[in-house]
Chain A
Amino acid sequence: MALRQSLGLATRDYFHEWQISVCFVLALAAVLGPMMVLFGLKFGIVGSMIEELREDPAKREIRPVGSGRYDRAWIESLRKRDDVIFIVPRVRSIAATLEVQSDRANRILPLEVIPSAQGDPLLPPGSAAPKGLGEVVLSASAARKLQVSVGDGVDGSLSRRFQGRKERVHLPLTVVGVAPPRSFSRDGLFASVALSEALEDFRDGRAVPALEWEGEAAEGERHYTGFRLYARSIYDVAGLEEGFERSGIEVRTKAADIETVRRMDRTLSAIYWSIAVIGLAGFSLSLGASLWANVDRKRKELSVLRLVGFRTGDIVWFPVVQSLYTAVLGWALACAIYLAAAWSINLMLAPQLEAAQEVCRLLPRHYLIALGLTLGASVLAAVLAGIRAARVEPSEGLREI
């Protein structure tokens, strides 16, 4: 009963002395608001860089340097790893080309052949992957130059010198997809592994029965000179790279870029948190000091409450309740300051940004964390003042004028 009374009275007092309360709230918002803007900038800038890393599959690619000798079993064993999301074997790059012609464009375009399969990170998720020996996906520039789109047919051709004479074969291909420009910028053709193998076989003078290309019979197990491998996430790249280097396979990755961003994140976080800790400590001290001084100022009123019969425990709540008001109101004002600042920063920098990208950004949980920290610091400060308030002897304050 008395506790509820005490809460009610503390509330009345807080709003009665609204000028002083407004000062407390402003003091808090003045510390917390800029801190939220700083964090929003850090989170927004680093966040969008990490987002960029995440969205660009090229950052997750691991490419072997030079040519090696890998068999199918080894490729399969890599495919089973958790940190590998996509892997296909590559044939010799000199054999991985195809000359392509369409009815509409009056030219023959030499295209790089990229082995692909379902789930290729360079192809938009959910789009068709090239299957069998008759389907291909063109890169955006190749499709433009050949003036073809999905569903069109094109003619692929390649030649070899076999048994002393020059041979050229043609194969009809259907365009089942066009890759977005950002995933492959050169003139390229995504083909199934089987088709890329067939092209290599033909050039090596071997027969490809499925396409009725003649030649020597294939012998022994096929070996590949390389592979296309993508890590599951950017955070798996460094580990995979280390594993390859350990087993003597030199690879090229974007691990350094990723590490740069992560290091920047760590550095900015360290800077931010040191500012935040200093700011919050300063705020707690200043709130503690003002609440402490408040107890002196209100000595008489607190004495009156004790004289009327309030217990020690009820009096402690007085500064605690008031500091909670300050915390919540100050936090709300800080949020408003943050939102206004973030809005204008994002608006100012909008021309330099891609759509939906924000330089200054906070997630809902960040607001809650800010509230939690503020409440914690305030209660800590208030409990000290509260204990002091409870120690006010009722007879002490009565005679003051």
Chain B
Amino acid sequence: MAEQEERKPIYELRDVVKKRASDSYSFSLRVPSLRIFPGEKIALIGESGCGKSTLLDMLAFVLQPTSCEEFVFAAGDEPEDISAAWRRSRRNRLARLRRHHLGYVMQTGGLLPYLTVRENMNLSRRILGMKKDDTVDELAEELGLSRHLGKLPSELSTGERQRVAIGRALAHRPSIVIADEPTASVDPFAAEKIMALFIEMVEQRNITVIVASHAWRHIKQLGLRRLAHHTRRSKDGHAAETVVSG
């Protein structure tokens, strides 16, 4: 713990709030304090609707917080003030951060149907103009996708598609990989295998990882730090607030 305190956190959030409201329901997510350090493996466990995805989207700079005291991201050379970037609508700057530092694994697919497996995995590298090397082939080898490289996503099973998505999230060597229930759509047996492989791969590459899941038992043996959170619902059921910290 003491060792971690000396290092600079990659994420530092203070009093970040996201509110969503519709006619009959209001939901808010509050993060009083959250620090994530390089190389950490974070798990965010909870039922669907508790705000996991909301937090992940904010951490991936694709969702603007309603209000925030401090939101600093320090994967690159200079710490970035994310809250300021949102305030000034500097979306292209956020896109740049995503391009360079983030990998994102979605709940289902998120693959481009018109690209082959190889091209999908290479997408994050191509957009950065990275040179062609063996990275994609090595990832495919590890993920057991070598014989599928020339296929389109529609020819693959759900589990295989999720593995392609993992490959794409890792191919450009990001600092952080965010995964939102990466195995929710896969059968439990395959899910455990894919999750174990995923964690093993980010560990090898020393990549910070943040995983959301609704089932702790799938991942508790993988050595992840679980973020504390609790959800309060109003008596009439029309409002919910989730508080996350860690």
Whether a CB of chain A sits under 8 angstroms from the CB of B98 is yes
Contacts of A306 in B (CB 8 A): 62, 95
Contact with A along B64-99 (1 / 0, CB 8 A): 000000000000000000000000000110011011
Contact with A along B157-178 (1 / 0, CB 8 A): 0000000000010000000000
If A1-B129, A5-B126 touch, whether A307 touches B114 (CB-CB below 8 Å) is no
Contact with B along A304-319 (1 / 0, CB 8 A): 1111111111000000
Roughly how many angstroms separate A225 CA and B124 CA in the complex, as a whole number?
A: 93
Contact with A along B95-115 (1 / 0, CB 8 A): 110111010101110111111
Closest B residue to A394 by beta carbon equals B62
Among A301, A304, A310, the one with the most B-chain Cβ atoms within 10 Å of its Cβ is A304
Assess the A309–B99 pair: CB atoms within 8 A: yes
Which residue in A16, A17, A307, A313 is a CB contact (below 8 Å) of B60?
A307
Contacts of B115 in A (CB 8 A): 9, 12
Q: Least Cβ distance of B83 to chain A in Å?
A: 17
Contact with A along B184-216 (1 / 0, CB 8 A): 000000000000000000000000000000000
Whether a CB of chain A sits under 8 angstroms from the CB of B15 is no
Whether a CB of chain A sits under 8 angstroms from the CB of B40 is no
Whether a CB of chain B sits under 8 angstroms from the CB of A13 is yes
Whether a CB of chain A sits under 8 angstroms from the CB of B2 is no
Among A15, A309, A395, the one with the most B-chain Cβ atoms within 10 Å of its Cβ is A309
Whether a CB of chain B sits under 8 angstroms from the CB of A347 is no
Interface residues of A in 366-401 (CB under 8 A from B): 393-395, 398-399, 401
Whether a CB of chain A sits under 8 angstroms from the CB of B57 is yes
Contacts of B126 in A (CB 8 A): 5
Assess the B62–A393 pair: CB atoms within 8 A: yes
Whether a CB of chain B sits under 8 angstroms from the CB of A361 is no
Roughly how many angstroms separate A16 CA and B115 CA in the complex, as a whole number?
A: 9
Contacts of B240 in A (CB 8 A): none
Assess the A13–B110 pair: CB atoms within 8 A: no
Which residue in B107, B108, B113, B127 is a CB contact (below 8 Å) of A309?
B127
Q: What number of B residues sit within 8 Å (CB to CB) of A?
A: 31
Q: Least Cβ distance of A365 to chain B in Å?
A: 37
Whether a CB of chain B sits under 8 angstroms from the CB of A336 is no
Assess the B113–A301 pair: CB atoms within 8 A: yes
Assess the B114–A16 pair: CB atoms within 8 A: yes
Which residue in B60, B92, B110 is a CB contact (below 8 Å) of A311?
B92
Assess the A312–B92 pair: CB atoms within 8 A: yes
Roughly how many angstroms separate A13 CA and B104 CA in the complex, as a whole number?
A: 22
Roughly how many angstroms separate A248 CA and B238 CA in the complex, as a whole number?
A: 97
Whether a CB of chain A sits under 8 angstroms from the CB of B34 is no
Roughly how many angstroms separate A61 CA and B102 CA in the complex, as a whole number?
A: 83
Nearest 6 pairs between A and B by C-beta? A309-B99, A16-B114, A394-B62, A395-B63, A395-B57, A395-B62
16 A-B interface contacts by CB (under 8 A): A1-B127, A12-B115, A301-B113, A304-B106, A304-B110, A304-B112, A307-B60, A307-B110, A308-B99, A308-B127, A309-B95, A309-B128, A311-B91, A393-B63, A398-B180, A399-B107
18 new A-B pairs (CB below 8 Å) besides A9-B112, A308-B123?
Answer: A5-B127, A12-B112, A15-B114, A301-B112, A305-B112, A307-B104, A307-B110, A308-B99, A309-B100, A309-B124, A309-B128, A311-B92, A311-B95, A312-B92, A393-B63, A394-B62, A395-B63, A398-B62
